[in-house]
A and B are shown apart, each in its own frame.
Chain A
Amino acid sequence: MTELEYAPFELMAVAGARELKNGEIVCVGLGLPIVASFLAKRTHAPNITILLELGVVDPEPIEVGVDGLSDPRIWYRAKAHTSFADTLGSVLHKGLVDVGFLGALEVDAYGNLNTTLLGDPKGKYRRFTGSGGGNDIASCARRTVITIRHEARKLNEAVSFITSPGYLHGGDERGKSGLMGAPSRVITDKAIFDFDPQSKRMRLMSIHPNTTLEDVLSNMNFKPVIPDELPITEPPTAEQIRLIREEIDPEKAYAGS
């Protein structure tokens, strides 16, 4: 049997899907989180409820959304069309969202996310998206799963702007700050991290097949906690890859996002 070939994006989507348990409520943005959620729904978690922040509950698109959350293609076959006050308010703010998926320009050692700007916040900077529902998800979801490309410029000791809070400066600072939930995973194209229970610093959980610890660490601008035993991330199955390529993202619209 030849070894299954897959792209880093596909491995990340599969790892994201594994974070979802059947019956959970998940709040997603476009791109990898959509692929991960639909993959979970078609495999081990058929009864998850997928929320899009602008007011879409449990859509089943038959065409790939091309332009963002506002593309009506991804609202198709929803069980409810509603509002921010409902999805982000009555569900998320009330504490009913189990998993929120977030991406970012950069993430720091404590899981804080920047989606606002690159450069000097008090001086010259380049403006990006800002929060949208990102801050709300990071503030209220029971578990936040962060997906980000594994590049040194994206993995920093501290972010230049905290758009969406992780563990702030670590320890029990988040617990005292009025926030609910917490970041639970950071999934990159080289490794998966969780957070040290005491310091709340990012901790390596597993490294992906065909990657070395040295490769993981040399492409980060901070040192994560490294456990004594470091397993290899479970690779995708042939069926998971087939679902992604043939059913969920046949036009490769999300791949690479």
Chain B
Amino acid sequence: MSKVSSLADAVASIPSGSHIALSGFATARCVMAFAHEVIRQGTKKLTVSQCVGAIDADILVGAGAAERIIYGGGSRGRSGQHSCLSRGIEQGTLVTEELSSLSMTFRYLAGSLGLPFIPIRSLNGSDILKRLQEITPSPVSTLKDPFTGEDWLVIKPLVPDVAVVQVQVADDEGNAWLLGPRWDNEEQVKASKRAIVITEQLVSTETIRRYPERTLIPGFKVSHVVHLPFSAHPSSVYGVYDFDKEHIKLYAEASKTPKGFQEYLDKYVYGVKDHWGYLEKVGGMKYLNNLLADPILGY
């Protein structure tokens, strides 16, 4: 059964107040076209989660679509902090549940296995743990190992309402390949109640069946398949296109102040009808063509 849908329909399937897991890592495979459409449709009160903060979460928080984040920290790397996330945390307007990369992964992993909790060594002794203990209800507790008697920190699973994942290749059922390093994405998708797949390339199920070992996302978890080129721009999609250094610089600069960020939204999100309008606005095919990846290098 084909689940191919428009981006608008996929976004409309997510009610305000949902918990969405996002596939971005810093400036790689961020669900930017999706985030822009969420902002345009006015979806509110979202909880976003991901292992390492990325520009998809940053723009959703900055635009007021997300009011809560569950993540492991993170920055854009050399191009600086996620300004909207930092502002929200500093001003106390963003409800934050902060862990580490691995503890987030373990929470998704527990969610994917249907486990009630998972023990972990990380976080012990840290102020990250103290802050998690102050949350009501707290996502952390302790337990005695019934076999050895050793005390263990245990953390709660995450079961997002929807995982939104940017992939290179999918068929119309949502069977998808995730090429390059995949950080938390496989566990995110498998932990979630359903997934929306945003794919750069739509292939036949014959192609999926030809390389079954590549299928990391099973179609039966997927509710919508959205086929859009450059849908992670300005972040990178390994093997398809590089990150857009210049546009990320522009976003970094704009998002430093609420005013600059609003001007960015007005131009690139509210100022266009859809993703095709966005692609024209950032420079069109002539510009985007320069970002296409070398097949061997992957960038």
Min CB gap A179→B, angstroms: 5
Interface pair B102/A92, CB less than 8 Å apart? yes
User: What string of 1s and 0s marks CB contacts (under 8 Å) between A153-190 and chain B?
Assistant: 00000000111110010000110011110000000000
A125 at the interface (CB under 8 A from B): yes
Interface pair A69/B26, CB less than 8 Å apart? yes
Q: Quick one: which of A129, A131, A173 contacts B99, CB cutoff 8 A?
A: A131
Complex: how many Å from CA A125 to CA B127?
15
Interface pair A84/B102, CB less than 8 Å apart? yes
| Residues 53-69 of A contacting B (Cβ, < 8 Å) | 53-56, 66-69
B106 proximity list for chain A (CB < 8 A): 89
| Contacts A76-B297, A136-B103, A177-B124; A129 near B81 (Cβ below 8 A) | yes
A130 at the interface (CB under 8 A from B): yes
Closest to B77 in A: A68
Q: Quick one: which of A127, A163, A178 contacts B124, CB cutoff 8 A?
A: A178
User: What string of 1s and 0s marks CB contacts (under 8 Å) between A124-148 and chain B?
Assistant: 1111111111111001100000000
Interface pair B125/A136, CB less than 8 Å apart? no
* Stretch of B180-188, B258-266, B278-286 at the chain-chain interface: B180-188
Closest to B83 in A: A127
| Contacts A84-B51, A129-B81; A116 near B100 (Cβ below 8 A) | no
* Stretch of B41-49, B167-175, B237-245 at the chain-chain interface: B237-245
| Contacts A132-B52, A161-B127; A66 near B180 (Cβ below 8 A) | no
Complex: how many Å from CA A233 to CA B248?
41
| Residues 100-132 of A contacting B (Cβ, < 8 Å) | 115-116, 121, 124-132
Interface pair B125/A162, CB less than 8 Å apart? yes
How many residues of A are in contact with the other chain, CB < 8 A? 57
A140 proximity list for chain B (CB < 8 A): 121-122
Closest to B248 in A: A67
Interface pair A69/B125, CB less than 8 Å apart? no
Interface pair A131/B26, CB less than 8 Å apart? no
| Contacts A85-B109, A127-B86, A130-B72; A70 near B25 (Cβ below 8 A) | yes
| Contacts A67-B79, A84-B51, A178-B124; A132 near B182 (Cβ below 8 A) | no
Looking at chain A's contact residues, is the secondary structure mostly helix, strand, loop, or mixed?
Answer: loop
A53 proximity list for chain B (CB < 8 A): 101
B17 at the interface (CB under 8 A from A): no
User: What string of 1s and 0s marks CB contacts (under 8 Å) between B57-83 and chain A?
Assistant: 000000000000000111111110100
Interface pair A179/B28, CB less than 8 Å apart? no
Complex: how many Å from CA A110 to CA B293?
46
Complex: how many Å from CA A130 to CA B94?
15
Interface pair B77/A83, CB less than 8 Å apart? no
User: What string of 1s and 0s marks CB contacts (under 8 Å) between A33-74 and chain B?
Assistant: 000000000000000000011111000000000111111110
| Contacts A127-B81, A135-B122, A135-B126; A75 near B25 (Cβ below 8 A) | no
| Contacts A67-B245, A70-B236, A132-B100; A165 near B77 (Cβ below 8 A) | no
Min CB gap B124→A, angstroms: 4
| Contacts A54-B183, A73-B299, A165-B125; A136 near B78 (Cβ below 8 A) | no
A150 at the interface (CB under 8 A from B): no
B236 proximity list for chain A (CB < 8 A): 70-72
User: What string of 1s and 0s marks CB contacts (under 8 Å) between B119-136 and chain A?
Assistant: 011111111100000000
| Contacts A75-B238, A135-B128; A70 near B101 (Cβ below 8 A) | no
B223 at the interface (CB under 8 A from A): no
Complex: how many Å from CA A69 to CA B183?
11
Interface pair A116/B127, CB less than 8 Å apart? yes
A128 proximity list for chain B (CB < 8 A): 75, 81, 86
User: What string of 1s and 0s marks CB contacts (under 8 Å) between B208-252 and chain A?
Assistant: 000000000000000000000000000110100011010010000
- Among A52, A53, A127, A179, residue most surrounded by chain B Cβ atoms (within 10 Å): A127
Closest to B55 in A: A70
Interface pair A89/B102, CB less than 8 Å apart? yes
Complex: how many Å from CA A131 to CA B105?
13
State the B residues within 8 Å of A (CB): 25-28, 51-53, 72-79, 81, 85-86, 89-90, 98-106, 109, 120-128, 150-153, 179-187, 235-236, 238, 242-243, 245, 248, 293, 297-299
- 15 intermolecular pairs with C-beta atoms under 8 Å apart: A54-B181, A55-B181, A55-B183, A73-B299, A83-B181, A85-B186, A88-B101, A89-B109, A127-B85, A127-B86, A139-B126, A162-B125, A164-B126, A168-B125, A178-B121
State the A residues within 8 Å of B (CB): 30, 52-56, 66-73, 75-76, 78, 81-85, 88-89, 92-93, 115-116, 121, 124-136, 139-140, 161-165, 168, 173-174, 177-180, 257
Top 10 A-B pairs, shortest CB-CB distance: A68-B77, A130-B73, A55-B181, A70-B26, A72-B299, A136-B102, A135-B100, A70-B28, A131-B100, A165-B125
